[in-house]
Amino acid sequence: MKALPELVIIGAGGFGREMYAWAEQSEQYQRDWTIKGFVDDNLQALDSFPSPGRLLGTISDHQPQSDEVFICALGQPGPKRKCSELIESRGGRFTQLVHRTVVMGHEVSLAAGVVLCPYAVVSANNRLGKSVAINLHSSVDHDAEVDDWSQINCHCDLTAAVKVGKGVFMGSRVSVIPEVSIGDEAYLGAGSVVLRDVPAGWKMVGAPAKRVG
């Protein structure tokens, strides 16, 4: 039997250590790949935080092997994009990670690198772009889109036909009403309730959400 590819997790911080457990509990573990370990530019990342995973070296120096696949576990869209594109430029192949508790509807499109954490809900006719992360207990309602690199944190509620651009960050418990569009690289602070379109690059906080900064 041909050996399975090995998963390398980019980032050994808190989200990365969580990701190791989610990987072991995923649909893909021991079906599509096994787990090799982490890469992180902080070689002391695991010194104070015990983990079953081993640190393989730095992101900057890592040369992807033919039997490796990758997931990025960096929680900020900018660094996530930078490090993922670096590995991709060296021939690295990105996989998907779907926890076994995820609820998913029909006609859902998941790009390479998508991470769906425990108890996420992805409804019908959704599209999630490259390396999008949907964190614990968050939901994406029908006909919604989340573009590349965006980070949707815990307990967020993206309702019907919401459009989220590239590199968007949503803190925990953000709610977005139907048919609202969020521009590229917008930042929505924790607990924000978004009632209208958000232009690219805006930082929004509050209920209802208002621009700050």
For residue 106, give the CATH number of its domain. 2.160.10.10
Residues 85 and 18 in one domain: yes
For the stretch 48-60, what's the b/e string if a residue is b when 16 or more beta carbons lie within 10 angstroms of its beta carbon? eeeeebebbeebe
Q: Token pair of 193, please?
A: 């309730």
Q: Which residues pair with 158 in a beta bridge?
A: 140, 176
What is the count of structural domains for the chain? 2
Confidence bin at 57 (pLDDT 50/70/90): very high
Cα–Cα dist 83/169, whole Å: 17
In a domain, 89, yes or no: yes
Confidence bin at 213 (pLDDT 50/70/90): confident
Instruction: State the DSSP H helix or E strand holding residue 17, giving kind and residue range, or none if neither.
Output: helix 14-24
For residue 30, give the CATH number of its domain. 3.40.50.20
In a domain, 1, yes or no: no
The pLDDT assigned to 2 comes to: 77
pLDDT of residue 39 exceeding 70: yes
Confidence bin at 48 (pLDDT 50/70/90): very high
Residues 114 and 45 in one domain: no
In a domain, 209, yes or no: no
CB 140 within 8 A of CB 159: no
- Return mean pLDDT, the chain: 97
Q: What is the pTM of this model?
A: 0.95
pLDDT per residue over 76-86, tens digit each? 999 999 999 99
Residues 102 and 192 in one domain: yes
Domain boundary among 41, 66, 95: 95
Per the structure, the complete domain to which residue 74 belongs is given by 6-95
Domain boundary among 54, 76, 95: 95
pLDDT per residue over 131-164, tens digit each? 999 999 999 999 999 999 999 999 999 999 999 9
Residues 116 and 190 in one domain: yes
Domain boundary among 63, 95, 127: 95
Residues 64 and 107 in one domain: no
Residues 121 and 23 in one domain: no
In a domain, 121, yes or no: yes
Confidence bin at 1 (pLDDT 50/70/90): low
Q: ω into residue 199 within 30 of 0, thus cis?
A: no
Residues 88 and 116 in one domain: no
Cα–Cα dist 127/123, whole Å: 10
Sheet holding 68-72, edge to edge: 34-39, 6-10, 68-72
Confidence bin at 188 (pLDDT 50/70/90): very high
Residues 35 and 123 in one domain: no
What is the residue-wise DSSP string for 108-120? Answer: -EE-TT-EE-TT-
